[in-house]
């Protein structure tokens, strides 16, 4: 490999941060928040153990109680939650790491048991998500949502802005706006979930409006250099679909490019599943429309990650579940060492087991 060929293990400047490598820990829901949806006392250790990643992206964290869709997920909307996250960022920074928080509103992927006053979840349109959520320690069908009134949307945009401000107060290096995987922003983007006939529905420009308003609000609050965004153009996650994702996301990327976000984080294929669910979709066409840092995700191993970085098809590669069972994933990839086996029974909920107790490699003598 020539000196000019980028490597997965090269340092990389991302906004105001110098990353020691191009390996990113993807956001991973673990359902271990303490009462009040505060990060648990184990969370600082969990994230600090993984601080050798070029960048850590936290588990998705709701911007309001209305934005919650699963039990025991952390928030970033109360003073106690901010204080809990400050312990996490302090622990990561003490290890020399860099960390951003993923800002989340699930929209219709929720249950009345989690909503303020037992209300219906909200969505662009009153269409139930064909998926399940995790409530009372079991997976159950989502509740029927109600369509948001147009006058309510600005309040949710303001919730994102407040959450971004809270993230900086909590010591984060930035935020990632979660616009993927069938959650609220993705529901507005995709016509399988958005049947509105007002300024937020119909045309691609209208369906993109909510995402762009959120991005503009967050950027106005904390700056473009601290604002990333995650997209999943073709993933069917949480029952989402669109009739023409290429046309939609070509426009979305062009609009995002004008705003110069910290990065665009793209889930290629079905989230956590096959990469080839939409073989005619061109991720390269998206890449060509964006001048900034490009992060890829989904099903990457060492060989594929090495190749896409060397070929300039991505600047950063996010790994998900391998980071759960391998706190020292960067070093394991560097040595091409075996990976710990994932304990699937401890993915969601619980305590230290399957969370902070996975072993690291022995140090090199």
* DSSP-assigned states of every residue in 273-337: S-S-SSTT--HHHHHTT--S-EEEESS--HHHHHHHHHTTS-SEEEE-HHHHH-TTHHHHHHHTP
Structure tokens at 19: 């990353």
CA-based nearest residue to 133, from 188, 213, 45, 70: 70
Cα separation, 89 vs 104, whole angstroms:
18
pLDDT in tens, 112-162: 999 999 999 999 999 999 999 999 888 999 999 999 999 999 999 999 999
Rounded to whole angstroms, the Cα distance separating 143 from 140 reads 9
Please choose, from the candidates 267, 265, 272, the residue with its C-alpha nearest in 3D space to the C-alpha of residue 230.
265
**Separation between Cα atoms, residue 116 and residue 102, nearest integer Å:** 22
- Confidence at 34, pLDDT banded by 50, 70, 90: very high
Could you give the C-alpha distances from 290 to 17, 119, 259, 323, in angstroms and in order?
20, 40, 10, 28
pLDDT > 90: what percent of the chain?
97
What is the per-residue burial (b if ≥16 Cβ within 10 Å, else e) of 56-76? Answer: bbbbbbbbbebbbbbbbbbbb
Residue 1 is predicted with a pLDDT of: 44
Question: What's the pLDDT band for 364 if we cut at 50, 70, 90?
Answer: low
* Under 8 Å between Cβ of 277 and 234: yes
Rounded to the nearest integer, the mean pLDDT of the chain is 97
Report how far residue 99's alpha carbon sits from residue 25's, in angstroms, rounded to the nearest whole number.
9
pLDDT tens by residue, 238-288: 999 999 999 999 999 999 999 999 999 999 999 999 999 999 999 999 999
Residues with a known catalytic role: 183
| CA-to-CA separations, 275 to 106, 176, 189, 236, 322, in angstroms, rounded | 23, 22, 21, 12, 17
Q: What are phi and psi of 227, to 5 degrees?
A: -125, 105
Structure tokens at 84: 């809990």
Q: For the chain, give me the number of helices (H) and strands (E)?
A: 10, 14
Give the residue among 96, 120, 117, 94 at the shortest CA–CA distance from 108.
Answer: 120
For the chain, the distance separating the N- and C-terminal CA atoms, rounded to the nearest angstrom, is 27
Q: Say which residues have a Cβ less than 8 Å from residue 328's Cβ, sequence separation at least 6.
A: 49, 52, 360, 361
pTM, to two decimals:
0.97
Q: Which element (helix H / strand E) includes 213?
A: helix 204-222
Tokens coding 87: 């312990």
pLDDT at 363: 79
How do residues 12-30 score in pLDDT, each as one tens digit? Answer: 999 999 999 999 999 999 9
pLDDT in tens, 295-342: 999 999 999 999 999 999 999 999 999 999 999 999 999 999 999 999
Structural contact between residues 32 and 350, judged by C-beta atoms closer than 8 angstroms: yes
Interacting residues of 340 by C-beta distance below 8 A, sequence separation 6+: 325, 326, 358, 359
Distances in Å between the Cα of 276 and the Cα atoms of 154, 235, 269, 310, 338 are: 37, 10, 6, 22, 26
All domains of the chain, ordered by start, with CATH?
A: 12-346 (3.20.20.70)
Backbone angles phi, psi at 54, to 5 degrees: -55, -40
Is there a contact between 41 and 350 (Cβ–Cβ < 8 Å)?
A: no
Give me 62's structure tokens: 């709701």
Cα separations in angstroms, 316 against 5, 38, 140, 310: 14, 29, 35, 11
């Amino acid at each position: 490999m020539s000196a000019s060929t980028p490597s997965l293990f090269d340092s990389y400047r991302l906004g105001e941060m110098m990353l020691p490598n191009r390996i990113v820990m993807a956001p991973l829901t673990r359902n271990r928040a303490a009462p009040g949806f505060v990060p648990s006392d184990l969370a600082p250790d969990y994230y600090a153990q993984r601080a050798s990643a070029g960048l850590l992206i936290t588990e998705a964290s709701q911007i309001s109680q209305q934005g919650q869709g699963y039990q025991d997920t952390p928030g970033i909307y109360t003073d106690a939650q901010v204080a809990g996250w400050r312990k996490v960022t302090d622990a990561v920074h003490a290890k020399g790491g860099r960390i951003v928080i993923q800002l989340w509103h699930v929209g219709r992927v929720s249950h009345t048991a989690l909503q303020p006053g037992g209300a219906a979840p909200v969505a662009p349109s009153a269409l139930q998500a064909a998926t399940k959520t995790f409530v009372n320690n079991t997976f159950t069908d989502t509740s029927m949502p109600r369509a948001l009134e147009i006058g309510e949307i600005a309040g949710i945009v303001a919730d994102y802005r407040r959450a971004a401000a809270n993230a900086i107060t909590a010591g984060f290096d930035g935020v990632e706006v979660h616009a993927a995987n069938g959650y609220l922003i993705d529901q507005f983007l995709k016509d399988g979930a958005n049947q509105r006939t007002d300024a937020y529905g119909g045309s691609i420009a209208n369906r993109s409006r909510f995402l762009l308003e959120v991005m503009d609000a967050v950027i106005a609050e904390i700056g473009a250099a601290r604002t990333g965004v995650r997209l999943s153009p073709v993933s069917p996650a949480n029952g989402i679909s669109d009739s023409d994702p290429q046309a939609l996301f070509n426009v979305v990327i062009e609009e995002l490019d004008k705003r110069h976000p910290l990065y665009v984080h793209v889930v290629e294929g079905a989230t956590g599943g096959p990469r080839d669910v939409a073989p005619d979709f061109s991720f390269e066409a998206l890449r060509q429309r964006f001048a900034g840092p490009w992060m890829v995700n989904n099903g990457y191993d060492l060989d594929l990650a090495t190749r896409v970085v060397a070929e300039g098809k991505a600047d950063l590669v996010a790994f998900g579940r391998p980071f759960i069972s391998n706190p020292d994933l960067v070093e394991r990839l560097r040595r091409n060492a075996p990976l710990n086996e994932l304990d699937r029974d401890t993915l969601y909920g619980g305590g230290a087991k399957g969370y902070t107790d996975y072993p690291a490699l022995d140090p090199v003598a």
